A and B are shown apart, each in its own frame.
Chain A
């Protein structure tokens, strides 16, 4: 059940998207997310959907994997939809008891659902097609200008990549500890909320301990290899833009411009 979350899990295959420079993919993902909030009409969402669909098609990652990431946010999605549906003032469509569904609420709810699911699928495209390592490289390079303001860019990038790298490991660990406690008669499913929360203790304590242990081990291993942060570090494979990346930036700029135009004129 826990294996279903795909965020931060690289899917190995060969595609145009996989070969793109990570900086392009990062910028594209940010632009895509921003564009979701820029457009406000249905035409805009159709354009975003088409853009996303083409990216998924180009990435050669089975669609199933993208949807799997959605399962994790079903709950958040549901809450957002319900709140928007019932709590938006406006022209009443249906009213049951004290609850009123308004036309504006319905629109907003659907819009939010579309935005959130596009957001997750969009970022899944990036994480599924980019290894955590190249993702960090890209992030580091993109944020380099911030160094002037004394932002520890390299350190932040390193932390992010470690966090991403550890998501699947900790998930596996959770699965293992859960099974071990179930084998000792633990029950994670039945009971009311308080009981369920209490039942999590035998899972969370070992999980935290294992996370700290792993962090400690990793820090030790890094120090043993003389890791000391960003100063004077060189890369084995420095990032370089290719023609493909410039073309991708072009496509991205066109998409973004289109979104803005739609916002202004439609």
Chain B
């Protein structure tokens, strides 16, 4: 059970003068149950890449395999693939359309041809998973706040019970509190269900706290792929491409350079605190 990308290339705009080589020879293996952060600057190809994973875009060259099957084989059931690989787009609240929250979440499972009962059960479970209170279920989705709308939209994808959940910039445009709430909810969901989660972001800070693997994209290629500690060790190179390591990484480096015996590879605030306390002998 995994997604494999084999020499994937994608060119926007065909053979016109405006052609853009958006993905260059991408080779990735995404095994089951991983929590992955996909990071890159605006225009690095990360959104293009995730649209390949559920077959919305067809690679110009190369192949994509889901559970060992080529998703662009002529007899492959794309609709089923899209229920298994759930993709939440950027600003997903812009896709809401139903008269109430509950019916909107039902849209996905209904399209899968499930029975009414199963559809409603799934919608209810999904809305619970994203932490939306019952009182909102029968309100118009357009009356909700930005953060709530986004939860509804995420629930709309979760209701299809995907094995892989991809979220494209789920925190864009949210305030810090809304951001933390959404990310915590996703982390909790990941823990409870064990599904694969791919979090697309341009913020190292957001991602470092949660994920176990980071893929850094730059100009359509994979630049780094590894555990957060490994990737952030390249913080100078990351800066050159307009990204940065989390702030604690810099603090820890500075502390170490000024003679404090701390490990410099801490990536989250919690780790940094433990390291500093240890160095101060106050464990």
Q: Do A and B come from one complex?
A: yes
Query: Does A96 lie at the interface of the complex (its beta carbon under 8 Å from any beta carbon of B)?
Result: no
Interface string of A57-74 (1 = CB under 8 A from B): 000001010000000000
Binds B, one of A132-140, A159-167, A182-190, A224-232: A182-190
A179:B89 contact, CB within 8 angstroms: yes
CB distance from A189 to the nearest CB of B (A): 11
Query: Does A19 lie at the interface of the complex (its beta carbon under 8 Å from any beta carbon of B)?
Result: no
> Within the complex, which residue of A180, A185, A209 is in contact with B92, where a contact is CB–CB below 8 Å?
A180
Q: Which residues of A contact B108 (CB under 8 A)?
A: 184-185
CA distance A186 to B83 in the complex (A): 11
Query: Does B63 lie at the interface of the complex (its beta carbon under 8 Å from any beta carbon of A)?
Result: no
Give the B interface residue count (CB, 8 A).
Answer: 26
A202:B94 contact, CB within 8 angstroms: no
B111:A183 contact, CB within 8 angstroms: no
Nearest residue (CB) in A for B109 is A185
CA distance A26 to B209 in the complex (A): 58
Q: Which residues of A contact B107 (CB under 8 A)?
A: 181, 184-186, 202
Q: Which residues of A contact B110 (CB under 8 A)?
A: 185
> Within the complex, which residue of A176, A180, A185, A210 is in contact with B79, where a contact is CB–CB below 8 Å?
A185
CA distance A127 to B214 in the complex (A): 45
CB distance from A175 to the nearest CB of B (A): 10
Knowing A64-B16, A185-B111, A206-B94, the reply to whether A179 touches B79 (Cβ < 8 A) is no
Give the A interface residue count (CB, 8 A).
Answer: 20
Q: Which residues of A contact B16 (CB under 8 A)?
A: 62, 64
> Within the complex, which residue of A62, A176, A187, A205 is in contact with B97, where a contact is CB–CB below 8 Å?
A205
Interface string of A170-210 (1 = CB under 8 A from B): 00000011011111111100000000000001100110011
A177:B54 contact, CB within 8 angstroms: no
B94:A182 contact, CB within 8 angstroms: no
CB distance from B83 to the nearest CB of A (A): 6
Q: Which residues of A contact B51 (CB under 8 A)?
A: 179
Knowing A183-B82, A185-B112, the reply to whether A206 touches B96 (Cβ < 8 A) is yes
B96:A183 contact, CB within 8 angstroms: no
Q: Which residues of A contact B111 (CB under 8 A)?
A: 184-187
Knowing A62-B16, A187-B79, A187-B111, the reply to whether A182 touches B56 (Cβ < 8 A) is yes
Knowing A185-B160, A206-B95, A206-B97, the reply to whether A180 touches B89 (Cβ < 8 A) is yes
Q: Which residues of A contact B92 (CB under 8 A)?
A: 180
Interface string of B78-100 (1 = CB under 8 A from A): 01001100110100101111000
A180:B95 contact, CB within 8 angstroms: yes
B89:A201 contact, CB within 8 angstroms: no
CA distance A3 to B12 in the complex (A): 11
CA distance A99 to B111 in the complex (A): 43
CB distance from B87 to the nearest CB of A (A): 4
Knowing A62-B17, A185-B160, A202-B107, the reply to whether A209 touches B82 (Cβ < 8 A) is no
B97:A183 contact, CB within 8 angstroms: no
CB distance from A74 to the nearest CB of B (A): 19
Q: Which residues of B contact A182 (CB under 8 A)?
A: 56, 82
- Which residues of B line the A interface, CB within 8 A? 13, 16-17, 51, 54, 56, 79, 82-83, 86-87, 89, 92, 94-97, 107-108, 110-112, 142, 156-157, 160
Given A183-B157, A206-B95, A206-B97, 11 new contacts (CB under 8 A): A179-B51, A179-B89, A180-B95, A181-B95, A182-B56, A184-B82, A184-B108, A184-B111, A184-B157, A185-B160, A201-B97
Q: List 5 A-B contacts (CB under 8 A).
A: A177-B94, A183-B87, A184-B107, A185-B79, A185-B83
